[in-house]
Amino acid sequence: MKILLVEDDPEISGMLRDYLVCENFEVVCAADGEEACKKFEDGIFCIVLLDLMIPKISGMDVMQHIRQKSTVPIIIISARDTELDKTLGLGMGADDYITKPFSVTEVLARIKANIRRSTQYAAAVQPEEPVELTLGELAMNLSDYTVTKAGEKLDLTAKEFDILKLLMMNPKKVYTKAQLYSQIWNDAYLGDENAVNVHISRLRNKIEANPREPEYIITVWGIGYKLGEVS
């Protein structure tokens, strides 16, 4: 499996590359945003590790470039550790956020969790046996992992797809934020609601006619979220 590592600090880049190579990953390194975009175009990657503060093209712009073409999992690794930075990064399309300094074992665990989620798409459903979930104008095809609304294709990230799929497959169930985090991120919930909130907000912006008055993803105050009853 091939990883794109975008990091301008040669010490950090070398440390991560050597560790991940020992864990049987192939690592392609880029030291600036321009190089990152070019190398992404030239390869097929299972995950992207992305620093935000890189030369030439910012990390945020690199992420936007990738998101226009792919739903590959993106993990931001940054010294920026404020809630605003995390919210912005996740809101722009990242699947996970790790702050510096970090442990390489934590990075490896996050990589494996995100790859595990993304690779599950290809496993279960055979193309000749399409499975479709519908709710109102929404249609989710589990054979080619597309979502449409009124026939128009929606561009969802892997995490957004997983959240919507979980809710559509369990229309009567109310999920707490801890349950959503545990099932979608495959990781222990440590009380950080930010990742769940940001992804729910982004998903609503894509599927709701009015995200401020959602019909498809309903907030159950004090508990969590559930699927709306849309005819």
22 falls in which pLDDT band (50, 70, 90)? very high
Q: Please check the confidence at residue 128 and state whether its pLDDT lies above 60.
A: no
- What is the SS3 assignment for 128? coil
Stretch 146-154: mean pLDDT, rounded? 94
What does the pLDDT read at residue 129? 46
What does the pLDDT read at residue 61? 92
- What is the SS3 assignment for 45? coil
Q: In terms of pLDDT, which residue wins out, 17 or 222?
A: 17
What CA–CA distance (Å, rounded) separates 94 from 116? Answer: 16
What does the pLDDT read at residue 126? 45
Pair (179, 105) in one structural domain: no
Give me the helix-helix angle, 177-185 and 158-169, nearest 10°.
120
Pair (116, 140) in one structural domain: no
CATH assignment of the domain containing 180:
1.10.10.10
Stretch 189-199: mean pLDDT, rounded? 79
Pair (7, 103) in one structural domain: yes
In a domain, 127, yes or no: no
Pair (110, 137) in one structural domain: no
Q: Which residues contact 81 (CB under 8 A, 6 or more apart)?
A: 99, 100
Pair (140, 178) in one structural domain: yes
Pair (15, 99) in one structural domain: yes
Pair (13, 118) in one structural domain: yes
In a domain, 77, yes or no: yes
Stretch 32-45: mean pLDDT, rounded? 92
CATH assignment of the domain containing 108:
3.40.50.2300
DSSP per position, 152-211: EEE---HHHHHHHHHHHHSTT--EEHHHHHHHHH-S---S--HHHHHHHHHHHHHH-SST
**What does the buried/exposed string (b/e) look like for 191-226 if buried means 16 or more CB atoms within 10 Å of the residue's CB?**
eeeebbebbbebbbeebbeeeeebbbbbeeeeebbb
Q: In terms of residue numbers, what domain contains 54?
A: 2-122
Q: How many structural domains comprise the chain?
A: 2
Sequence letter at residue 99: T
Pair (118, 6) in one structural domain: yes
Pair (105, 145) in one structural domain: no
Domain boundary among 122, 152, 186: 122
Pair (9, 116) in one structural domain: yes
What does the pLDDT read at residue 186? 74
Stretch 59-64: mean pLDDT, rounded? 92
In a domain, 180, yes or no: yes
Q: For all residues of the chain together, what is the average pLDDT?
A: 88
Stretch 84-89: mean pLDDT, rounded? 82
Sheet containing strand 26-30, strands side by side: 26-30, 2-6, 47-50, 74-78, 96-99
Stretch 196-205: mean pLDDT, rounded? 94
Domain boundary among 78, 103, 122: 122
Contact present, 73 and 94 (Cβ < 8 Å): no
First-to-last alpha carbon distance for the chain, in angstroms, is 43
